[in-house]
């Protein structure tokens, strides 16, 4: 939503920015992380959640 910060943890490295943009995602404002392992993905998610810097984590 407008004015909210969203982080996307792309564990499968499958994000298609062109398609996401067609769906209405503001790619320029989306925080994207592409971790190398599942453990790293969970650590990133934990850090983001604890920081309070984002409104939504996908």
pLDDT tens per residue across span 10-57: 999 999 999 999 999 999 999 999 999 999 999 999 999 999 999 999
* Residue 1 pLDDT > 70: no
Give the pLDDT confidence score for residue 26 in this predicted structure.
93
Which residue segment(s) compose the domain that 53 sits in? 6-57
Q: Is 25 a domain residue?
A: yes
pTM assigned to the model: 0.86
| Confidence class for position 3, pLDDT limits 50, 70, 90 | confident
* Residue 2 pLDDT > 80: no
Give the pLDDT confidence score for residue 49 in this predicted structure.
97
Distance CA 10, CA 6 (A): 13
Q: Is 46 a domain residue?
A: yes
Residue 20's CB is within 10 A of a number of other CB atoms, namely: 15
Phi (first) and psi of residue 8, to 5 degrees: -120, 120
Expressed in angstroms, the distance from the first to the final Cα of the chain is 13
Domain count, the chain: 1
DSSP symbol at 23: T
Distance CA 18, CA 37 (A): 25
């Amino acid at each position: 939503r407008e004015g909210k910060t969203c982080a996307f943890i792309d564990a499968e490295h499958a994000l298609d920015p062109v398609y996401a943009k067609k769906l209405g995602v503001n790619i320029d404002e989306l925080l994207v992380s592409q971790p190398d392992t599942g453990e790293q993905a969970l650590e990133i998610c934990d850090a983001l959640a604890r920081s309070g810097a984002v409104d939504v984590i996908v």
